[in-house]
Structure 1
Amino acid sequence: MTILVVGGTGATGRLLVSELLERGQNVKVILRSADKLPENVKNHKRLSIIQASVLSLSDADLTLHVKGCAAVASCLGHNLTFHGIFGPPRRLVTDATRRLCNAIRANKAEVPTRFVLMNTAGNSNRDLDEPISFAQRCVIGLLRLLLPPHLDNEKAADYLRINIGPSNEAIEWAAVRPDSLINETEVSPYEVHPSPTRSTIFNAGSTSRINVAHFMADLITDDEIWSKWKGQMPVIYNKGH
């Protein structure tokens, strides 16, 4: 199986690339610089590096890179700098999701391609009646107005929910929603729910990046897990957090 990963040099993306390679998968990554990849990953025989910005690629090139991939995973996010938060591209995640989905559809593969998006527990799944307090709605509303990356995450998931939908012939999708991200060195027990079980704003849980990478890899490589969560926005927490 060949998987395309975008955002593969990010804190979670690097871990996903490593996890997929350890599982014996062939991985293609689109990235601006390979310098951020660990040496053992950068020189891996099953890794192909496409050095470019995903939004700078032409439609034809993006279609070519997606061709033959059983799955596409996006760990894209905005850098936590002033320019990264407020500067262009303000719709990095949404535009990349849209263009990658268009590339998948252009290839007209015989079986649906899996698209796994890393999202956030701060984004509600509006296909479900997820309970949100008035106070949390107010805070989320402010985040939507003041922090462009939050709205970008919402729009990216909405694109999958609305534009791709639950029964697309070319694409099946899942949007993984971790809560407050932390760094750990090893995979630990974690739990996955259809919706948040706690307030992201006032009672946040925690999710290690390596657990997010492990679960995303499970979605890509495990048919049973994929069947359970496709078309949904699962929320992942470290167990006991």
Structure 2
Amino acid sequence: MTTLVVGASGATGRLLVEQLLQRGEQVKAIVRTPGTFNEFITNNEDFSEIQASVHDLTHKEMQQYITGCDAVASCLGHQMSFRGVFGKPRLLVTDTVRRLCAAIQATHSEKPVKFVLMNTAGNSNRDLDEPISFAQKCVIGLLRLLVPPLSDNEKAADYLRTQIGQNNQTMEWTAVRPDSLQNESEVTEYTLHPSPTRSAIFNAGQTSRINVAHFMAELVTNGELWNQWKGQMPVIYNNKEE
């Protein structure tokens, strides 16, 4: 299998690339700056690096890179700096998801292409009646206005839910929702839930980036797990948080 990874040079993206290669998968990574990966990745014959800015690629170029891929994974996000949070492009993730989906559908693959989006537990799955307290609704509404990346994540997941939907013949999707991200060196036990089991604002859990990468890689490579979570927005917590 071949997976195209967008946002591959980020903190979680690099871990996802490594997880996929450890499983013997072929990986294509779109990165703006070359040379950001460790030796295991760069020396791996199953890895290829595409030097480009994803939002500068034309539709034809995007389609070319996706052709032959069984899966596409996005770990794209805004950098945690003033420019990254408040600068342009405001809809970096949403616009990229739209363009990736358009390119996937234009490839006319013989079987549905898997699309795995890294999202956030602060975003609700509006296909489900997820209970949210009035206080959390108020805070989320304020953050939506003041912190553009939250709105971007919401719109990206909503695009998959409403525009791609559950019965698309060319692609299937899953949006992975970690809570407060942490750096850990090894994969640990984690739990998966259809909806948050705690408040992302007032009682946030923890999710290590390497556990997110592990789960995303498992979704790509494990057909049974994919069938369990496709068309859904699973929430992932480190097991010690339960």
Given the two structures, how large is their TM-score scaled by the length of structure 2? 0.99
Aligned mates of 1:193, 1:30 — CA distance in 2: 30
Residue 137 of structure 2 is aligned to residue 137 of structure 1? yes
Aligned mates of 1:42, 1:159 — CA distance in 2: 33
**3-state SS of paired residue (2:90):** coil
Where does residue 8 of structure 2 map in the other structure? 8
Where does residue 48 of structure 2 map in the other structure? 48
Query: Counterparts in 2 of 1:82-93, with a 5 A limit?
Result: 82-93=82-93
Q: CA RMSD in A?
A: 0.6
Where does residue 233 of structure 2 map in the other structure? 233
Aligned mates of 1:117, 1:158 — CA distance in 2: 12
Where does residue 110 of structure 1 map in the other structure? 110
Aligned mates of 2:164, 2:28 — CA distance in 1: 23
**3-state SS of paired residue (1:3):** strand
Deviation at residue 37 of structure 1 after TM alignment: 1.5
**3-state SS of paired residue (2:11):** coil
Residue type at the aligned position of 2:229: W
Q: Is the 8 A contact 1:34 1:42 kept in 2?
A: no
Q: Is the 8 A contact 1:144 1:151 kept in 2?
A: yes
Aligned mates of 2:212, 2:63 — CA distance in 1: 27
Task: Detail structure 1 runs of 4+ shifted over 2 Å in the superposition.
Answer: none
Deviation at residue 45 of structure 1 after TM alignment: 1.1
Where does residue 27 of structure 2 map in the other structure? 27
Aligned mates of 2:29, 2:144 — CA distance in 1: 30
Aligned mates of 2:240, 2:188 — CA distance in 1: 11
**3-state SS of paired residue (1:109):** coil
Where does residue 125 of structure 2 map in the other structure? 125
Deviation at residue 44 of structure 1 after TM alignment: 1.7
Aligned mates of 1:149, 1:36 — CA distance in 2: 24
Where does residue 171 of structure 1 map in the other structure? 171
Deviation at residue 73 of structure 1 after TM alignment: 0.1
Aligned mates of 1:46, 1:34 — CA distance in 2: 17
Q: Is the 8 A contact 1:218 1:225 kept in 2?
A: yes
Unaligned runs of 5+ in 1: none
Residue 225 of structure 2 is aligned to residue 215 of structure 1? no
**3-state SS of paired residue (2:150):** helix
Q: Is the 8 A contact 1:117 1:174 kept in 2?
A: yes
Aligned mates of 2:16, 2:6 — CA distance in 1: 10
Aligned mates of 1:91, 1:114 — CA distance in 2: 22
**3-state SS of paired residue (1:155):** helix
Where does residue 98 of structure 2 map in the other structure? 98
Aligned mates of 1:23, 1:200 — CA distance in 2: 32
Residue type at the aligned position of 1:26: Q
Deviation at residue 42 of structure 1 after TM alignment: 2.0
Where does residue 161 of structure 2 map in the other structure? 161
**3-state SS of paired residue (1:137):** helix
Given the two structures, how large is their TM-score scaled by the length of structure 1? 0.99
Deviation at residue 79 of structure 1 after TM alignment: 0.5
Residue type at the aligned position of 1:121: A
How many matched pairs? 241
Residue type at the aligned position of 1:212: V
**3-state SS of paired residue (1:232):** coil
